[in-house]
A and B are shown apart, each in its own frame.
Chain A
Amino acid sequence: ETGVTQSPTHLIKTRGQQVTLRCSSQSGHNTVSWYQQALGQGPQFIFQYYREEENGRGNFPPRFSGLQFPNYSSELNVNALELDDSALYLCASSWGAGLNEQFFGPGTRLTVL
């Protein structure tokens, strides 16, 4: 196991609702990256937080937002949920915002009805 934890494990929401997903990084890591993995596809980069600041963003609309806390844990918030937001959401922690390995959590499976 990587030491990266995510909650909740599964979540069911309806279209238009808002959701918050949580991630606790591995001890000693100060960077968290979030990825969305639709069924049958590879993970897609959403954004990264380094030392509580957003440090890069993928091609996702502003209704996807995040936070990183002083203990380096992180939240992913999605507003106005759409059916296509149904996916596995993975967070990964690493040390620094460079090219070090990212260690992934088990993911949160979000279903939007």
Chain B
Amino acid sequence: AQKVTQAQTEISVVEKEDVTLDCVYETRDTTYYLFWYKQPPSGELVFLIRRNSFDEQNEISGRYSWNFQKSTSSFNFTITASQVVDSAVYFCALRDKETSGSRLTFGEGTQLTVNP
């Protein structure tokens, strides 16, 4: 069965620090997608990135970067030079073909607080 683990429940940093959010996943499928979503206090889940299981190339988008390593089943997310507006709950999610409906399996989330 699929499982996503975000071991960090809460992280608190000071503005301009770099912060890495960890995500470890489990799946028996060879074809799957990994996602990161941001959930600000308003509640809406904001899509940040999708990576497929065949593409281990790391990606950088502005202050955000992602490190996907199949060998360790990890998909970590780094925010460089964090800002107060980055404060939110961040969810890692997995989507595969193992079960019907192409459901997203979410981790428990990491609450990131960036202090000024």
Contact = CB atoms under 8 A, between A and B. Distances in A.
A22 to B, nearest CB: 16
Interface stretch (B42-50, B61-69, B75-83): B42-50
Given A43-B45, A90-B45, A102 B104 contact: yes
Contacts, number: 72
A42 B45 contact: no
Q: Which of B31, B33, B104 has the most CB of A within 10 A?
A: B104
Contacts of B42: 106
Contacts of B116: none
Nearest to B97: A99
Q: Which of A50, A88, A99 has the most CB of B within 10 A?
A: A99
Contacts of B4: 42
A101 B70 CA distance: 21
A112 to B, nearest CB: 18
Interface stretch (A13-21, A53-61, A74-82): A53-61
A98 interface: yes
Given A41-B108, A42-B108, A42-B109, A104 B45 contact: yes
A47 B102 CA distance: 10
A48 interface: yes
A29 interface: no
B106 interface: yes
12 contacts: A2-B47, A35-B106, A41-B108, A43-B45, A45-B101, A50-B101, A56-B99, A98-B102, A99-B32, A99-B102, A101-B50, A104-B47
Interface of A: 2, 33, 35, 41-45, 47-48, 50, 55-58, 88, 90, 92, 97-99, 101-107, 109
